[in-house]
């Protein structure tokens, strides 16, 4: 997905919010703000929004000298989600359609996104869970279910820390031996890295790799060779969250995007309403027999 004009004021606000979250030093806020204004004034709008996200958060890390400013937030939401996990797991297992319930919960967890909302509280996660369980999934669930059961080699692209525990619920409903989970290569916002995969026990469940990049999405040119090879060879990609949708929506590959539509630009691009639970498959995503 390209960057729309409406993304620009949002980048500026996000950059300011993030700088404030990371430090109280107003000279840093101003430096980040001025640099991001300069960068956006010249940006190539054919680039996807996470390309600017990468720029902004590199800038914040460099300006503050803090290589992982969201570490505490990531730890907090990993612990919080792990505390919820047993009850959510029980809800999945006692439901009429465990795969569908797990899918809804995985989408519910996509609310833990500090790029979109840096004032997120636990109450919003509870709300997102209850809302998801009574909402329809906007997409072809049967196609997803069929494709997952037939694919021999699935690459699941994780999104954020905390959220990754919700992904675990979904992964546990799929054939574990056929799944590889990919996380970001370096810290960016609250996106999940290998540390989060380990902290939430997913490394003991499936193979976990990192993509070598610090993009809040998946820009293939920024990823390491090992990841690109796995991506190319995967029979099916499951891509979680807005950032992965924004960066991969035009890549030719069998991909199921699963996400909560959290902003009007994404919702318009997807043809859904803000807040929708989205399961979108790229044209050729349903693997034939």
Out of 2, 28, 31, 33, point to the residue binding a copy of itself (CB under 8 A): 33
The token pair that represents 2 in the structure block: 């390209």
d(CA 29, CA 18): 9
Q: How many residues bind a copy of itself (CB under 8 A)?
A: 20
Asked if 25 is part of the footprint of a copy of itself (rule: CB under 8 A), the reply reads no
The token pair that represents 136 in the structure block: 């329809």
Count other Cβ atoms within 10 Å, centred on residue 229: 11
Out of 34, 62, 87, 273, point to the residue binding a copy of itself (CB under 8 A): 34
Asked if 220 is part of the footprint of a copy of itself (rule: CB under 8 A), the reply reads no
2-21 residues near a copy of itself, rule: CB under 8 A = 5-6, 8-10, 12-13, 16
For a copy of itself, give the closer residue by CB, 53 or 139: 53
For a copy of itself, give the closer residue by CB, 44 or 252: 44
Which residues neighbour 125 within 8 Å (Cβ) at sequence distance 6 or greater? 80, 81, 84, 108, 109, 111, 112, 162
Asked if 41 is part of the footprint of a copy of itself (rule: CB under 8 A), the reply reads yes
Q: Which region, judged by CB under 8 A, interacts with a copy of itself, from 26-34, 81-89, 148-156, 189-197?
A: 26-34
For residue 118, the minimal CB distance to a copy of itself (Å) is 14
For a copy of itself, give the closer residue by CB, 16 or 209: 16
d(CA 58, CA 63): 8
For residue 16, the minimal CB distance to a copy of itself (Å) is 6
d(CA 56, CA 217): 14
DSSP structure class, residue 260: E
DSSP structure class, residue 154: E
Asked if 59 is part of the footprint of a copy of itself (rule: CB under 8 A), the reply reads no
Q: H or E element: which one contains 281?
A: strand 277-281
Instruction: Identify the residue whose tokens are 């996660």.
Output: 125
The token pair that represents 173 in the structure block: 């409903």
What are the residues binding a copy of itself (CB under 8 A)? 5-6, 8-10, 12-13, 16, 26, 29-30, 33-35, 37-38, 40-42, 45
């Amino acid at each position: 997905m390209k960057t729309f004009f409406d993304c620009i004021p949002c980048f500026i606000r996000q950059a300011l919010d993030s700088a404030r979250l990371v430090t109280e030093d107003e000279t840093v806020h101003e430096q980040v703000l001025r640099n991001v204004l300069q960068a956006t004034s010249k940006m190539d709008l054919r680039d996807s929004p996470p390309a600017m996200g990468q720029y902004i958060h590199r800038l914040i890390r460099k300006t503050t000298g803090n290589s992982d400013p969201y570490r505490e937030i990531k730890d907090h939401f990993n612990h919080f989600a792990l505390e919820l996990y047993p009850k959510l797991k029980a809800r999945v297992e006692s439901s009429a359609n465990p795969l569908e319930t797990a899918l809804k919960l995985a989408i519910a967890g996509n609310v833990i996104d500090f790029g979109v909302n840096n004032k997120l509280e636990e109450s919003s996660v509870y709300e997102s869970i209850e809302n998801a369980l009574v909402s329809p999934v906007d997409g072809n669930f049967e196609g997803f279910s069929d494709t997952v059961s037939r694919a021999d080699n699935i690459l699941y692209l994780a999104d954020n820390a905390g959220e990754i525990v919700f992904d675990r619920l979904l992964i546990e409903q799929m054939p574990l031996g056929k799944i590889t989970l990919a996380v970001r290569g370096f810290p960016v916002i609250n996106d999940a890295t290998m540390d989060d995969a380990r902290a939430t026990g997913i490394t003991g469940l499936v193979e976990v790799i990192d993509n070598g990049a610090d993009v809040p999405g998946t820009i293939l040119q920024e990823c390491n060779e090992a990841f690109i090879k796995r991506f190319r060879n995967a029979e099916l990609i499951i891509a979680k969250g807005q950032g992965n949708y924004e960066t991969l929506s035009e890549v030719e590959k069998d991909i199921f995007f699963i996400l909560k539509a959290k902003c009007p630009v994404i919702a318009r691009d997807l043809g859904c309403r803000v807040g929708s639970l989205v399961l979108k498959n790229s044209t050729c995503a349903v693997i034939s027999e």
